[in-house]
Structure 1
Amino acid sequence: MSLPIANDLDATWNFIQPGLEYILGSHEDQGVTSKMYMNCYTAVYNFCVNKSRRSNNDHHSTANESNLYSLAGAEIYSRLDKYLTEFIRNLKKDPKDTFLEFYVRKWTRFTIGAGYLHNVFDYMNRYWVQKERSDGRKDIHEVNTLALNKWKTEMFNDNAEVLISEILDLIEKQRNNQIVNTQLISIAIKSLVFLGLETQDSKKPSLVVYITNFEKAFLEKTSQYYSNESAKFLSENNVVEYMKKCESRLSEEISRSNNYLEDHTKKYLLETLNKVLIEDHSQEMYNQFLTLLEQNEIDHIQRMYKLLYKVPKTIDPLADTLENYIKQQALLSIEDMRISMEAAQDNSTTTASKPKRALSAVDPKTYINTLITIYLQFNEIVIKAFNKDPRFIKALDNACRYFVNNNPIALPTPKSACKTPELLAKYSDLFLRSNSKESDIIDMNGDNLMIIFKFINDKDSFEEFYRRQLAKRLINSNSKSEELEESIIQRLQEENSIEYTSKMTKMFSDMKASEDLKSKLNMNNLIVKDFNPLILAQSMWPFNHSKDYNLNVASELIEPFDNIVKAYDSQHNGRQLKWLWNHGRAEVKANLSKKGKPPFLFTVSNIQLMILIAFNKNNTYTLGNLYEIVGTSRHIFESHLLPLIKYKLIEQSPAGDLSNDDITLTIVEEYKSKKLKVNFISVIKNTEPKQEEEEATKEIDETRKNFLSACIVRIMKSRKVVKHNDLINEVLPQTLSRFRAKIIDVKRVIDQLIEKQYIQRVEGNSYEYLS
């Protein structure tokens, strides 16, 4: 056909309409040819351009005539609008097809044709349509958008319910593992997105049609489907199988959503699935959780965690359950250990009356290793099953802090102070001492120490006991390694503060200063071959000078001690030295062997040393004379003398107790020991441990009072006036790094500060600072 007259609307439309039929797919077996496509494009172009040129070339045209170009666009646009309406209305469904199949087939062909149609009317789109829309005509659209709007009005709106229903039925069949044509679902859903065009901006897609007609129904159907399925599945299977089923279903739905759902729906789909599959059945998982813990089913616990993790609010109850379970299991383990220790003690007791278990009977290694075993067991679960989730780390820490400080051994009675810090200090001493057997400390190390240290509440108590044990290791030179000692102190400092380890650090400084002082001493004494004096700062070391140990130094030994005082006084003016005779030791060469045999080497206390030196002058003394020579209090003298008598270095006459001053004591001429080295210190009846424990407890209490006093005064000084409850609430958190203060202790310190006139009570249950 030849092209129509350019300015004839009817002729132009009659010319292009057959081509439009082919373009939009009325003849499904035939498509549009390139010649037909170009003829339609040219006819539309000529019509619009010819009208415009004629109007522009007529200089005498009226105002209405000058708008002929616009009228030409409106006319052909109107014809196209009516044509598209009729075209879509005339589309008929094949009886053998479902509506979804019909819809997808026709939509696919129609949208392809609409794209070509858009190009056919390209000139009208670019000029007339753009001009109309810029003038505010938002009901005018480019041809492709016009076609989609017509499809929505004439095809979708009246059939939306049927279409969505068939889409959802197909999705349900797929969920039931039936084979379906997923392409039908995908194309139909995507059509809803294309149909949701913005009124203001026709090129911008909107999800309003997709959300209103499909998404809401899809989510409701999904919720209903999985609610029914999960309830039925759980009634027939256990929780572990259900969790596996959940994983499978979630994976399927994620894959399905990636195939044909919009991103907007994916979030709400997961929320729906998580609600129906996980949150609604979280209680069943909690109930099974304890069983999985008891059976150590790490994989299943991890599976449960990963599912519940998808619903954050379901995690906290799981963490709480873990915390309570750890507490229960820990207390059971510690109680079993306590019973075993009591049974072992009972078996070793031969008397009819068996004493009640005391703290000294608690083996620090067994106790601490039991705590460590519990921690490591559940720490592994937290790492492997819960992926180091901070909530479960916190649950583990809370549980450990509880059972470390509250258990049958830590608190033998409700009102007793926690024993864990003291036992931990003794545990540390075992593996830090050089005289500990390797077989006994093979599984003891600094890492275990730091793990338990982190959980103890009374860190100041541990510091006091640890410092006392450290002091003994240092002055007795039986520390395994100075580097190891310093590394432990460094780790304690990192975990707490520099102030926390300041006294320990100063103790090492004193040891170094003592070495420097020794190098300056003049040692020409014939009797004393080696002398190792230690100068210790009284405020840093846990030793007290006792009058019970006032010792009479033998004349042979006065010179070395005087040299120490002179050397020290030359460096430090005004400082006073006090001798701690109860902490020194000596090695004495004793020529009490048979002829030709080497002399004995006795390890003795300072008091035993003075006893033996006295026998250099006389072989025999009365008990009273020897006591006057040695000095010290009577009970101390006797406790140090008894080992020498017991192991037959000194002969007593008559035998019996040491209550009579007329008893004679004679040194043997030949000592009968098979060992050349004999330690008389280790068998001294020692009453010091109990005394040291009392001193440590007293020191801890005093330090806490000072700490609380400092906190209260500091707060009052800055605030001037503070209410009682506010003061208590400010003080308590400040103590947590060292100990857990009790309210009653804070009240007592407040009363003391009132007595000392640091603060005073004022009206309104408040306190006022007194400058």
Structure 2
Amino acid sequence: MTELPKSNDLNATWNFVEPGLKRIIGGSEDNVGVTPQMYMNVYSAIYNYCVNKSRSPNNLSSNNASQSSLLVGAEIYERLKKYLSVYVKQLQRTPPESFLEFYVKRWTRYTVGAGYLNHVFDYMNRYWVQKERNDGRRDIFDVNTLALLTWRDYMFLPHAEYLVKEILAQIELQRDNQVIDTKFLSTAIKSFVLLGIDVQDLKKPNLHIYIDNFEKPFLESTRQFYAAESAEYLSSHNVVDYLRKAEQRINEEESRETLYLDEHSKKPLTDTLNDVLIVAHSQVMYDEFANLLEQNQIDHIAKMFALFNRVPSTLDPLAEIFQTYIDLKGITAIDNLKNDIQNEASKAEATGGKKPKQQVDPKLYVKALIQVYKKFQQIVSTAFQNHPIFVKALDSACRQYINNNSIAKPPGFRGTSKTSDLLAKYSDNLLKKNKDADATSDMSVDDIMVIFKFLNDKDAFETHYRRLLAKRLIHGTSSSTEAEETVIQRLQSENSMEYTSKITRMFQDVRSSHTLRATFKDEASKRADSKSIVADFEPFVLTETMWPFSFSKNNKFQLPADLVPTYSAFQDLYGQQHSGRILKWLWNLSRGDIKANLQKPGRAPFTLSCTLYQMAILLPYNDSDTYTLSELCKLTGLDAPVISNAIVPMVKYRLLQPSPGGMDALSQLDTKFTVVTEFKSKKLKVNLVQGVRSLESKQEVEDAEREINEDRRYYLKACIVRIMKARKHLSHAALLNEVVQQSHQRFSAKVADIKKCIDELVDTEYLQRNEDQSYDYLA
């Protein structure tokens, strides 16, 4: 092969290059490879033939080339095409190698040779083949593509079914933990991709060979294998073991996918695995989920979630089970707390003691709610990775059991959920001065905000909280201003500035009252009757609409003579500073201290902390030792029931002695009350206020409920007017929906209440009702 053939002799040229082609495409029996000299001679012979333009067009095949073509290549292209088909057909498997081994070895050598052949016929590819394809000949290909198509037609397609069967058998062996040579699988499967050639557009990827001949059978065999294995495994193992097995199998298949599958198979393989291993057995896993929650098996729950998370549609039933379980645990926790309270009351009664009132400790109640939330919040965070569906399920469940349980809404109870009231009392205990630091050591503002977030009746909490805050501010029992402001800021950020507007104004009133107090002290010292003015008088001037106090217009209370000069001095000062303002005195909230010289001579007097009403009852005893209830009514201007309630702690501490005795006699007008000549108490400071507070609690609850309902009525009316002012015209249903939506942030509005407010606005001519059940806004 040293002397090149004549460039115009086709037969000579072909006879010259054919031995070299055989070595290039498949090697030789003597194992002598292609030398550089041989490669260059073959290349040169083909090049010389193709560039020879002296050949007559009549010698070209009319089926393969244009008669006007001056580029030569058709004859040698046909010779090469025939040669490749003959070469591929004569390839034979030599036992004991499997067909897969034979296929992969021959394919590997063939594709390498085809690459070299493509370079040998480079000139023909670049000129003749390119021109033919540009002229619309889609049956002409570059040499590398021609080689692949020849392999496809004469080697792959006739044996595709058998080849794929062997590949799937090898994959199944690997699934059964047997060792196989994955290189054979990888090479064979990649050949399916390379053989998918689009003859219309050679640059366009085409996976029809891969999909039709391998992917579909592979997915079907995968489905059958895992359907049988998973069913058998579950019949002899528990769900927890199955979770591990499914996770292991999915990881194995994903690894297999990376090693030798095409990217196209990723999604269908994932869908198949999800369908067979997860969806098909989802009900079994759902049934076990509650048991895992009961046992707090967070790791196993995380595995179950990881599986279900692969199929988003399976998460909703799991979240529903999760929500129902949380709600049940929350209800159960409160039921247990209620039972404990009842059992303690029963024990006290059985031992002969006085049966205590079955009141709920706000701290125990809130802690019971918090404990359930924190437990499942940890599961959501750790096992469910804060997935939105499970965050929502936790929120919905907490909202349900926090607002509706045996304590918040006892059977037959139709009022506002008591959770708002108990949370406000919890806040009061936390923020109030407390001698026992251990009692509040495990309480925090975070607890308040967690429960507050789930309250349906946030407006009720604001009312109860504001009432208790008012007492802390007026009586100076707040632990610190900073702590109070922290809670207010947190409430504001969780809701709105409007929500805390009244509370903020209350703090402003307290600060301005402190300034006014200092001014009064200075001015009082300059008065002629300064000695008769109480030196430590602490007035609070409050905005009537911001504070949760009610003023009684029919109050005939007569201020004790000792306090009249102080009262008159303050009235004069305030009238000078603010002309036109009217002061309404809340005598029932006023307090003071009285020094009582009821000790033995030479000993320090007692200090009695009491309400103003109690003070008005006690001061007349400076003039006389005994008064009847009727006489005390005339002296104070108070009603008999009010005096009876105020006297209860005085009788309890044996400061006053009733005649006749007994609690029933305290409300009789002819009952006499005599002050003791020598009062006995271990403490020099005696608090007479606490006994009255419990007697007023029922009235406070009624006032709070009344205020909540009244505020809601005003709020709903404001919402309706605001909506109608913007829309001008709305249907009845649309108006109801918008009002419910706007009021949801503060409370759950009832449709009946909204309808009642609409009727009132129609009556007052804010709205006009039309015949088609729609409304118009009247400016």
Q: What TM-score range do you get, normalising by the shorter chain?
A: over 0.9
Q: State the partner residue of 2:771.
A: 763
- Aligned-pair distance for 1:140? 1.4
Q: Choose the corresponding residue for 1:37, options 36, 39, 42.
A: 39
Instruction: Give me the CA root mean square deviation.
Output: 2.5
Q: 2:544 corresponds to which letter in structure 1?
A: Q
Q: Distance in 2 between matches of 1:645 and 1:233?
A: 79
Does the C-alpha gap of structure 1 residues 211 and 174 become closer, same or farther in structure 2, counting only changes over 3 Å? same
Q: State the partner residue of 2:161.
A: 161
Does the C-alpha gap of structure 1 residues 420 and 310 become closer, same or farther in structure 2, counting only changes over 3 Å? same
Which structure 2 residues correspond to residues 198-217 of structure 1 after superposition, within 5 A? 198-217=198-217
Q: Give the secondary structure class of the aligned counterpart of 2:53.
A: helix
Q: State the partner residue of 1:629.
A: 635
> Does the 8 Å CA contact 1:326/1:396 hold for their aligned counterparts?
yes
1:753 equivalent to 2:752? Answer: no
Which structure 2 residues correspond to residues 357-756 of structure 1 after superposition, within 5 A? 361-417=359-415, 418-435=417-434, 437-521=436-520, 522-524=523-525, 525-526=530-531, 528-546=534-552, 550-618=556-624, 624-651=630-657, 657-658=665-666, 667-684=675-692, 686-756=694-764
Q: Quick check: 547-556 or 745-754, which moved more? A: 547-556
- Aligned-pair distance for 1:557? 2.1
Q: Give the secondary structure class of the aligned counterpart of 1:500.
A: coil
Report Cα offsets for 1:246-284 as digits up to 9, x if no partner.
111111111111111010111111111111111111111
Q: State the partner residue of 1:263.
A: 263
* TM-score normalized with structure 2 length: 0.93
- Aligned-pair distance for 1:530? 0.8
Q: 2:756 corresponds to which letter in structure 1?
A: R
Q: Give the secondary structure class of the aligned counterpart of 2:264.
A: helix
Q: Distance in 2 between matches of 1:661 and 1:237?
A: 83
Does the C-alpha gap of structure 1 residues 409 and 645 become closer, same or farther in structure 2, counting only changes over 3 Å? closer
- Aligned-pair distance for 1:378? 1.1
Does the C-alpha gap of structure 1 residues 632 and 495 become closer, same or farther in structure 2, counting only changes over 3 Å? same
Q: Quick check: 650-659 or 584-593, which moved more? A: 650-659
Q: State the partner residue of 1:60.
A: none
> Does the 8 Å CA contact 1:5/1:11 hold for their aligned counterparts?
yes
Does the C-alpha gap of structure 1 residues 374 and 152 become closer, same or farther in structure 2, counting only changes over 3 Å? same
Q: Distance in 1 between matches of 2:413 and 2:681?
A: 49
- Aligned-pair distance for 1:39? 1.1
Q: Give the secondary structure class of the aligned counterpart of 2:437.
A: coil
Which structure 2 residues correspond to residues 92-107 of structure 1 after superposition, within 5 A? 92-107=92-107
Q: Quick check: 703-712 or 505-514, which moved more? A: 703-712
- Aligned-pair distance for 1:738? 1.2
1:294 equivalent to 2:294? Answer: yes
> Does the 8 Å CA contact 2:164/2:214 hold for their aligned counterparts?
yes
Q: 1:493 corresponds to which letter in structure 2?
A: Q
Q: State the partner residue of 1:230.
A: 230
Q: Distance in 1 between matches of 2:713 and 2:432?
A: 33
> Does the 8 Å CA contact 2:223/2:272 hold for their aligned counterparts?
yes
> Does the 8 Å CA contact 1:461/1:700 hold for their aligned counterparts?
yes
Q: Distance in 2 between matches of 1:545 and 1:751?
A: 30
> Does the 8 Å CA contact 1:430/1:436 hold for their aligned counterparts?
no
Report Cα offsets for 1:181-219 as digits up to 9, x if no partner.
211111111111111122233344421211121111111
Q: State the partner residue of 1:59.
A: none
Q: Give the secondary structure class of the aligned counterpart of 1:440.
A: helix
Q: 1:33 corresponds to which letter in structure 2?
A: T
Does the C-alpha gap of structure 1 residues 190 and 663 become closer, same or farther in structure 2, counting only changes over 3 Å? closer
Q: 1:581 corresponds to which letter in structure 2?
A: W
> Does the 8 Å CA contact 2:226/2:276 hold for their aligned counterparts?
yes
> Does the 8 Å CA contact 2:645/2:695 hold for their aligned counterparts?
no
Q: 1:518 corresponds to which letter in structure 2?
A: R
Does the C-alpha gap of structure 1 residues 535 and 223 become closer, same or farther in structure 2, counting only changes over 3 Å? same
Q: 1:182 corresponds to which letter in structure 2?
A: T
- Aligned-pair distance for 1:748? 2.1
Q: Distance in 1 between matches of 2:748 and 2:435?
A: 34
Q: Distance in 2 between matches of 1:435 and 1:372?
A: 23
Q: State the partner residue of 2:118.
A: 118
Q: State the partner residue of 1:151.
A: 151
Report Cα offsets for 1:649-691 as digits up to 9, x if no partner.
3455665635676766554454333321111222337432111
> Does the 8 Å CA contact 2:658/2:666 hold for their aligned counterparts?
no
Q: 2:152 corresponds to which letter in structure 1?
A: K
- Aligned-pair distance for 1:55? 9.2
Q: Distance in 2 between matches of 1:339 and 1:455?
A: 24
- Aligned-pair distance for 1:622? 5.6
Does the C-alpha gap of structure 1 residues 411 and 88 become closer, same or farther in structure 2, counting only changes over 3 Å? same
Does the C-alpha gap of structure 1 residues 652 and 17 become closer, same or farther in structure 2, counting only changes over 3 Å? closer
Does the C-alpha gap of structure 1 residues 176 and 168 become closer, same or farther in structure 2, counting only changes over 3 Å? same
> Does the 8 Å CA contact 2:600/2:678 hold for their aligned counterparts?
yes
> Does the 8 Å CA contact 2:27/2:33 hold for their aligned counterparts?
no
Q: 1:716 corresponds to which letter in structure 2?
A: M
Report Cα offsets for 1:197-242 as digits up to 9, x if no partner.
2223334442121112111111111111111111111111111111
Q: Quick check: 623-632 or 458-467, which moved more? A: 623-632
Does the C-alpha gap of structure 1 residues 88 and 547 become closer, same or farther in structure 2, counting only changes over 3 Å? same
> Does the 8 Å CA contact 1:549/1:633 hold for their aligned counterparts?
no
Does the C-alpha gap of structure 1 residues 599 and 152 become closer, same or farther in structure 2, counting only changes over 3 Å? same
Does the C-alpha gap of structure 1 residues 696 and 17 become closer, same or farther in structure 2, counting only changes over 3 Å? same
Q: 1:410 corresponds to which letter in structure 2?
A: A
Does the C-alpha gap of structure 1 residues 52 and 659 become closer, same or farther in structure 2, counting only changes over 3 Å? closer
Report Cα offsets for 1:441-462 as digits up to 9, x if no partner.
2222111111111111111111
Report Cα offsets for 1:625-659 as digits up to 9, x if no partner.
44433322222223323433443434556656356
Q: Quick check: 644-653 or 134-143, which moved more? A: 644-653
Q: 1:129 corresponds to which letter in structure 2?
A: V
> Does the 8 Å CA contact 1:129/1:140 hold for their aligned counterparts?
yes
Q: Quick check: 711-720 or 341-350, which moved more? A: 711-720
Does the C-alpha gap of structure 1 residues 229 and 665 become closer, same or farther in structure 2, counting only changes over 3 Å? closer
Unaligned 5+ runs, structure 1: 57-63
Instruction: Could you list the structure 1 runs, at least 4 aligned residues long, displaced by more than 6 angstroms after superposition.
Output: 53-56, 350-355, 659-663
Q: 2:162 corresponds to which letter in structure 1?
A: V
- Aligned-pair distance for 1:118? 1.1
> Does the 8 Å CA contact 1:548/1:636 hold for their aligned counterparts?
no
Q: 1:110 corresponds to which letter in structure 2?
A: Y
Q: Give the secondary structure class of the aligned counterpart of 1:687.
A: helix
> Does the 8 Å CA contact 2:640/2:667 hold for their aligned counterparts?
no
Q: Quick check: 97-106 or 584-593, which moved more? A: 584-593
> Does the 8 Å CA contact 1:517/1:567 hold for their aligned counterparts?
no
Q: 1:647 corresponds to which letter in structure 2?
A: Y
* TM-score normalized with structure 1 length: 0.93
Q: Quick check: 270-279 or 622-631, which moved more? A: 622-631
Q: Distance in 2 between matches of 1:164 and 1:660?
A: 106
- Aligned-pair distance for 1:143? 1.0
Q: Give the secondary structure class of the aligned counterpart of 2:593.
A: strand
> Does the 8 Å CA contact 1:587/1:602 hold for their aligned counterparts?
yes
Q: Distance in 2 between matches of 1:23 and 1:685?
A: 107
> Does the 8 Å CA contact 1:549/1:582 hold for their aligned counterparts?
no
- Aligned-pair distance for 1:724? 2.6
